[in-house]
Amino acid sequence: MDLPVKQLRSKAEQDLLDVFSAVNEALPGAENKTVAKIRSDALADYASVGLPHRRVEAWKYTDLRSQMPEAFPLVQASGRAISDAEIETALSPRIAGIDAYRLVVAEGEFRPELSDVTALKEKGAELHSLAETLEHLPEELKPLLAESGYQRSGFEVAPTATKQIPDPIIALNKALMTGGVILRLKQGAALDKPVHLINLDGEGEPSASVTRAIVVLEKGTSLDLIESYASLGGRGLQRNAMTQIVLGESAAIEHSKLQLEDAEAMHLANLIVTMGAEARYNGFQYSLGARLSRNDVRVLFEGEGGTMSFNGAALLKDSQHCDTTMVVEHMVPHCTSRELYKAVLDGDSRGVFQAKVIVAPDAQKTDGKQMGQALLLSQGAEFDTKPELEIFADDVVCGHGATSGQIDEDLLFYLEARGIPEPTARALLIQAFVGEALEQIEDEPVREALTAATADWLGVAFD
Amino acid sequence: MLEIKNLHARIDDREILKGLDLKVPAGEVHAIMGPNGSGKSTLAYVLAGKEEYEVTEGSITWNGQNLLEMGPDERAAAGVFLAFQYPIEIPGVATMTFLRTAVNSVRKARGQEEYSTPEFMRVVREHAKELKIDPEMLKRPLNMGFSGGEKKRNEILQMSLLEPSLCVLDETDSGLDIDALRIVADGVNRLRSPDRSMIVITHYQRLLNYIVPDRVHVLSQGQVARSGDADLALELEKTGYAEFRGEAA
């Protein structure tokens, strides 16, 4: 007897297909054959795998299929004015107050009138709305838009792995992206201030926002990029945000991503960084909001001599869940990668940090180290960390470490014995724990704003 | 006046203090000596209120207040200061932030006005200078990368900033060379005053050449076995602790 093979979809999985059918013809670039093909291929990729679940190794600790009961419709941009005061409320005054060129993406749409477009262009930056670009897609952008996030290397000893499974979150981003920005610094361009890409969504009825940011730094240019994601106080937000950073030869970026959404939000983010020769990436991810957040980070060393430092901190409470999963691929020799991730977990929250470092056979003299650390403040908190090293070269230095523990009672006693009341002493130690990662941020105003945000989270103030 | 009566204290299942009695009047410096394991450091921790040490019997009163009912921070506010034998390194906490938080916590608890940042900086600089502490050191994380001597000087700096009335110095001389010992001892001596009591815990007589005690007590097996004046320390230097070791615990 032949049993019919029937794919069972969860409600959310089916919802997502329905969302696509409903909006497909109205999405930006619908008239453009290349874009339409990218979208329909991506949807097919998504449909072939569905939402990730715990039996998918990379999603072992974040069972999205079971944690996402339904998918919200795509946000309908109203184009309404958004005041500075609203931005300040969404981001906190300190973060909104960081002196930077602003780029605002709200309700899934780039908002030039809220952004410093003229000032950026005067400084030589090239800036485009993603939605407009999709209408007449230049050939050179096609590979970036069609990016699938596939692993580039590591198949030499396992050729059977060459058939890669599509990443459904990236696939959904490709299929449904409505807006965002493309920022390019051409050789010789230089900005005197950071660029702050502010993403605001989740107003009114539950909705989904699917956006894309592409940042290309040509040879020798440098940029200080802050990306913040916040809520506008509605009844539910499902976000799918993808950021691609392409660093040319000797290009350098200081990149801080701040996740500040409300406690009901779902935040799915992909970051893909490609590193040219001698390129430098210094990144920080600060996760404070959202009930469920997942940050997929892929760093690809394509040119020799690149240096990458990725650091992060998650401050979670109640039943928040934050998963940061990285894949760092050393495809060429003489590159250095560092990861330091700190999670402070209270209530029944759960932190996940997974980092895989792949060193291709040619990538000799690779230097890769990673560390994931959690401070558990309650019995109900959980930290899962999984380092993975796949090394196919023989002359490399690679290491990984993980710790998970409670506040050290000896340290606490020392502070209390000096007259510091226990709650303050605890806060001081937590601040110090997070501070080790925050110290890696080179942009001082960002570092100070996040240090203050951490103190706010702890409910104390140290001046 | 510190008054300890019939103090029994244990850690895990081991009884360390077994009926200790001690009185330290205001303004006096008392040295506590004794062989390893006699309970010297336990006494220091119990006075400061370390949780792992369980007091099963007896009492400690400081100027009439029952110390055993108070948390470590409350004891600090009441004037108790323990200079640690092994000052703790705390990465990520800037020494200056720590000092200011501690001093202002204590001032607040004592009903004194908290220092503003500039005021505090000035006060710290003055005290640091007397202890020959490089102000650069205060910018570093607490005790991180400090030498043994720097850590002990930092303890004395904290002691002078917190203006305690009962100072407990736990083996402050350990790990110090003679120059560092002199600086630390000078710092302690400057703090001697008629309304400040001190307990100087040490294994060796050497420190007591610099900080001359009013009384010396020898601890043995969790009790005060013998008390005397400063000369008792000199005598011990000659005879050693053999007679106080007794049967092994």
Residue B247 confidence (pLDDT) above 80: no
Q: How confident is the model at residue B241 (pLDDT cuts 50, 70, 90)?
A: confident
| Residue A428 to residue B101, Cβ atoms within 8 A | yes
Q: A351 to chain B, minimum CA–CA distance in Å? A: 22
Q: B52 to chain A, minimum CA–CA distance in Å? A: 10
Contacts of A417 in chain B (CB under 8 A): 48-50, 72-73, 75-76, 81-82, 84
> Residue B99 in 3-state DSSP?
helix
Contacts of A409 in chain B (CB under 8 A): 51-52
Q: A455 to chain B, minimum CA–CA distance in Å? A: 13
Q: Which residue of A has its CA nearest to B157?
A: A418
Beta partners for A295?
Answer: A269, A324
| Residue B90 to residue A418, Cβ atoms within 8 A | no
- The DSSP H or E segment spanning B195 is none
User: What is the average pLDDT value for chain B, to the nearest integer?
Assistant: 92
Contacts of B84 in chain A (CB under 8 A): 414, 417
Residue A380 confidence (pLDDT) above 80: yes
Contacts of B144 in chain A (CB under 8 A): none
pLDDT at B249: 40
| Residue B106 to residue A463, Cβ atoms within 8 A | no
pLDDT at A6: 59
Is A438 exposed, middle or buried, given 0-12, 13-18 or 19+ CB atoms closer than 10 A? buried
Contacts of B72 in chain A (CB under 8 A): 413, 416-417
Q: Which amino acid is at B56?
A: T
What is the rounded average pLDDT of the residues A402-430? 95
Q: Which amino acid is at A395?
A: D
pLDDT at A460: 77
**B47: region left, alpha or beta (phi > 0 left; psi from -120 to 50 alpha):** alpha
Nearest CB to B92; choose among A413, A419, A436: A436
pLDDT at A104: 98
Distance CA A453, CA B27 (A): 46
Classify the complex by whether its ipTM is higher than 0.85, answering yes or no. yes
Q: A58 to chain B, minimum CA–CA distance in Å? A: 32
| Residue A419 to residue B93, Cβ atoms within 8 A | no
- The DSSP H or E segment spanning B3 is strand B2-11
Q: Which residue of A has its CA nearest to B46?
A: A417
Q: For A355-368, what is each residue's pLDDT tens digit?
A: 999 999 999 999 99
pLDDT at A462: 62
Nearest CB to B77; choose among A409, A419, A431: A419
> By mean pLDDT, which of A329-338, A377-386, A454-463, B124-133 is the weakest?
A454-463
pLDDT at A156: 56
Distance CA A323, CA B210 (A): 58
| Residue B92 to residue A409, Cβ atoms within 8 A | no
What is the rounded average pLDDT of the residues B176-197? 91
What is the rounded average pLDDT of the residues A398-414? 94
Q: For A239-278, what is each residue's pLDDT tens digit?
A: 999 999 999 999 999 999 999 999 999 999 999 999 999 9
What is the rounded average pLDDT of the residues A28-45? 96
Q: How confident is the model at residue B184 (pLDDT cuts 50, 70, 90)?
A: confident
Cβ proximity of A266 and A451 under 8 Å:
no
Q: A459 to chain B, minimum CA–CA distance in Å? A: 15
Sheet holding B80-83, edge to edge: B80-83, B166-170, B197-201, B29-33, B215-220, B223-228
What is the rounded average pLDDT of the residues A22-50? 95
Nearest CB to A417; choose among B48, B98, B101: B48
Nearest CB to B91; choose among A409, A436, A462: A436
| Residue A431 to residue B92, Cβ atoms within 8 A | yes
β-pairing verdict for B29-33 and B80-83: unpaired
Nearest to A313 by CA among A156, A214, A455: A455
DSSP B131: T
pLDDT at B180: 87
Contacts of A428 in chain B (CB under 8 A): 93, 97-98, 101
| Residue A429 to residue B50, Cβ atoms within 8 A | no
Distance CA B7, CA B47 (A): 11
Distance CA B174, CA B41 (A): 13
Q: Which residue of A has its CA nearest to B96?
A: A463
pLDDT at B48: 97
Going from the N-terminus, what domains does chain B have, and what CATH number goes with each? 2-91+165-245 (3.40.50.300)
| Residue A418 to residue B87, Cβ atoms within 8 A | no
- The percentage of chain A sitting over the pLDDT mark of 90, rounded to a whole number, equals 91
pLDDT at A161: 55
pLDDT at B227: 95
| Residue B73 to residue A410, Cβ atoms within 8 A | no
Q: Which residue of B has its CA nearest to A429?
A: B93
Q: B67 to chain A, minimum CA–CA distance in Å? A: 13
Q: Which amino acid is at A248?
A: G
pLDDT at A229: 98
Q: How confident is the model at residue B62 (pLDDT cuts 50, 70, 90)?
A: very high
Nearest to B17 by CA among B199, B223, B246: B223
Sheet holding A109-110, edge to edge: A109-110, A101-106, A195-201, A222-231, A252-259, A280-287, A307-316, A336-345, A367-376, A397-405
Q: Which residue of B has its CA nearest to A460?
A: B101
Nearest CB to A463; choose among B81, B102, B117: B117
Q: A463 to chain B, minimum CA–CA distance in Å? A: 8
Nearest CB to A432; choose among B50, B91, B106: B91
User: What is the average pLDDT value for chain A, to the nearest integer?
Assistant: 94
Q: For A424-454, what is each residue's pLDDT tens digit?
A: 999 999 999 999 999 999 999 999 999 999 9
- The percentage of chain A sitting over the pLDDT mark of 70, rounded to a whole number, equals 96
Q: Which amino acid is at A456?
A: D
- Domain map (residue ranges) of chain A: 11-154+164-407
Q: For A216-246, what is each residue's pLDDT tens digit?
A: 999 999 999 999 999 998 789 999 999 999 9
Contacts of B109 in chain A (CB under 8 A): 419
Q: How confident is the model at residue B174 (pLDDT cuts 50, 70, 90)?
A: confident
- Picking from A375, A407, A410, A416 by the largest number of B CB atoms within 10 A of its own CB, the best residue to mutate is A416
Nearest CB to B88; choose among A414, A433, A434: A414
pLDDT at A7: 62
Q: Which residue of B has its CA nearest to A434?
A: B92
Q: For A153-187, what is each residue's pLDDT tens digit?
A: 756 555 555 567 899 999 999 999 999 999 999 99
Residue B248 confidence (pLDDT) above 50: no
Q: At what angle do helices B95-109 and A422-438 cross, to 10 degrees?
A: 160
Distance CA A277, CA B191 (A): 61
Looking at per-residue pLDDT, the higher value among B243 and B247 belongs to B243
Nearest CB to A420; choose among B73, B88, B141: B73
Distance CA A453, CA A436 (A): 15
Beta partners for B22?
Answer: B4
| Residue A431 to residue B75, Cβ atoms within 8 A | no
A&B contacts, CB < 8 Å: 83
Distance CA A235, CA B214 (A): 72
Q: B29 to chain A, minimum CA–CA distance in Å? A: 21
β-pairing verdict for B141-142 and B90-94: antiparallel
Residue A414 confidence (pLDDT) above 80: yes
Count Cβ atoms below 10 Å from residue A93 Cβ, excluding itself.
12
What is the rounded average pLDDT of the residues A121-137? 95
Q: Which residues of A touch B (CB under 8 A)?
A: 409-411, 413-422, 424-425, 428-429, 431-436, 439, 462-463
CA within 13 Å, CB half, A462: 29
pLDDT at A355: 94
